Amino acid sequence: MFFQTILFLVLYWLPGISSEGHLDVAIVINGSGTIASNNDDFVCATLDWWPSEKCNYNQCPWGGASVLNMDLNHPILANAIKAFKPLRIRIGGSLQDKVVYDVGNLGYPCEPFSKMDDRLFGFSKGCLSMARWDELNLLFQNTGAVMTFGLNALIGRYHVRNGIWSGAWNSSNARDFIDYTISKGYPVDSWEFGNELSGHGIGARVGVEQYGKDVINLRSILDELYKDSSLRALLVAPGGFYEQQWYSQLLEVSGSGVVNAMTHHIYNLGAGNDLNIKHKIIDPQYLSQIEDAFRGLQLTIQRHGPWSSAWVSEAGGSYNSGSPVVSNAFLNSLWYLDQLGMASKYDTKVYCRQSLIGGNYGLLDTETFIPNPDYYSALLWHRVMGKGVLSIDLSGSPHLRAYAHCRKDEGGVTLLLINLSKYAEFEVSVHNKLNVDLDDGVFINKNNSFVHSLKRTVSWFGRKGSDGYEKREEYHLTAMNGNHLGREMLLNGNLLQLTEDGNIPDMNPVYVPVNSPVSVAPLSVAFVVFPQFEARPCA
């Protein structure tokens, strides 16, 4: 115990020994067990309903990116989805509670959204034809996508005052739509009930008692329609901004086993025209503020609905279509990857990025479909960060963010390092807490100083040890020519760009001696894979 205490004290003070602009940092990964877990399809992206007339801040960045008008045959779109094997896609957004489905007895023509300034969100109702639904499902089946669909939860209700909507949900149109979907064999993984109607709402809100009754109604519909099908679908809700009292009441009103996942939204960087966004992204204290929402939802589920789980079903960083300066730039990946890491620590199973395409925050460019930097960040996470989340102890500057997971589909551990500093380069030594808990003799050589041993930045990976010749994998993401507001990303110094035939490029690591320190450049990201790192749950 004495030597364990000494180890942590030494690790804590090591950064103070380093020179200006170059910081030595020690990270201790606890390989004894996981603190949380993700789904295999943790990385998710949204498709939205916004038509080309959706404008903010004198710009209209949606173009042909709506669920209703997107070019579903674009080869880059298909290749971008296929690369994830699989990518979860959530169809939803502000206009989903104004969407009707052209199935059964709709009673009026199926038409797209039109601009109507006096209506909710400035648009009329819109209609999803079954021909378009068939085309969407063909894309999803051909690319292996996993689908979450957001249902219209306002239909049948009436506006009372000040955004308050009353009355019971009219489920008939949704029921016909779900029935059609099942009859066609379309494997919708989950149905989300409503969009941002919870708590204070965004544009519209529904009381929790009525909402809970409606969710029970939807559960009974799903149970009935799926009873003779080999398919099954989850019910997720409410797709709003986390408010503790409303969320806990929903779980209590709806009851055990009804809501499979509690979904919430995150736009913690503020409005898309906020000039301070680029400063917020590199401010560790600001980024950490949203941690309260992740922690709060985790506790709410534990106390009021342990049958449920936490999902982020929409997160765009900046709201109102995102920032035209930052949301599609390299710098945004620092925020995005930090979000994925932070959400994981609090047992978030799914994290849906707004959006796959559309707005300024699309993973793909709205006009060309060419991937933006965050696309590659998402893909790399998906390929190397496994489901099991490990705890870490990190000494040194708060500008180094670090998250550890089991390696994806293989033994070992992957460490994500995010350098938020403009000026400091970090030299990171990685240690295994399993060794700290071993007998003192494993580490202490009486002929050498303990501090001297640490300063050699030897990485102790566990009882497996290392012969000094083993390698680790490193994936360093940096901005092209140091332009952090540019849209070009380098992987290990090589430009990430589509191949000549429009395919996603290979994303290969560099191999580094396992016991050398990890160098993380200013305003950059590093994924580090330790294949031989001993972690009991990651075998």
- Residues noted as catalytic: 196, 314
**385, amino acid identity:** M
Torsional sign, CA 271, 361, 233, 67? positive
- What does the alpha-carbon distance between residue 320 and residue 303 come to, in Å, rounded to a whole number? 34
Nearest residue to 404 (alpha-carbon basis) of 10, 88, 36, 11? 36
**Which residues partner with 146 through β-bridges?**
88
Write out the E strands in 486-523. 489-491, 494-495, 510-513, 518-520
Residue 370's identity, in one-letter code, is I
Instruction: Supply φ then ψ for residue 393, to 5 degrees.
Output: -115, 130
Dist CA 96 CA 110 (whole Å): 15
Q: Tell me the CA distances in angstroms from 494 to 151, 312, 344, 490, one per residue in order.
A: 42, 32, 29, 5
- The residue type of 342 is M
What token pair was written down for 371? 């991937």
Our measurement of the distance from residue 225's CA atom to the centroid of its chain's CA atoms, rounded to an integer in Å, reads: 31
All residues at 6 or more sequence positions from 22 whose CB lies less than 8 Å from its CB, including other chains: 424, 425, 427
CA separation, residue 519 to residues 236, 451, 484 (Å): 41, 21, 19
Neighbours of 129 (CB within 10 A): 15
User: Which residues neighbour 357 within 8 Å (Cβ) at sequence distance 6 or greater?
Assistant: 47, 65, 70, 77, 363, 364, 365, 366, 369
Between CA 432 and CA 535 the distance in angstroms is 8
Question: What residues contact 81, with CB distance under 8 A and at least 6 apart?
Answer: 87, 89, 139, 143, 144, 145, 356
What distance in Å separates the CA atoms of residue 517 and residue 504, rounded to the nearest whole number?
A: 31
Rounded-to-integer distance, Cα 520 and Cα 95, Å: 42
Q: Which segments within 195-323 are labelled E, that is strand?
A: 205-206, 234-240, 261-266, 270-271, 309-315, 318-319
Among 494, 519, 523, smallest CA distance to 509 is for 494
CB 400 within 8 A of CB 426: yes
Amino acid at 131: A
User: Roughly what angle, to the nearest 10 degrees, separates helices 208-225 and 244-254?
Assistant: 50
Q: Are 313 and 268 within 8 A, CB to CB?
A: no
- What is the identity of the amino acid at 96? Q
Give the total residue count for the chain: 539
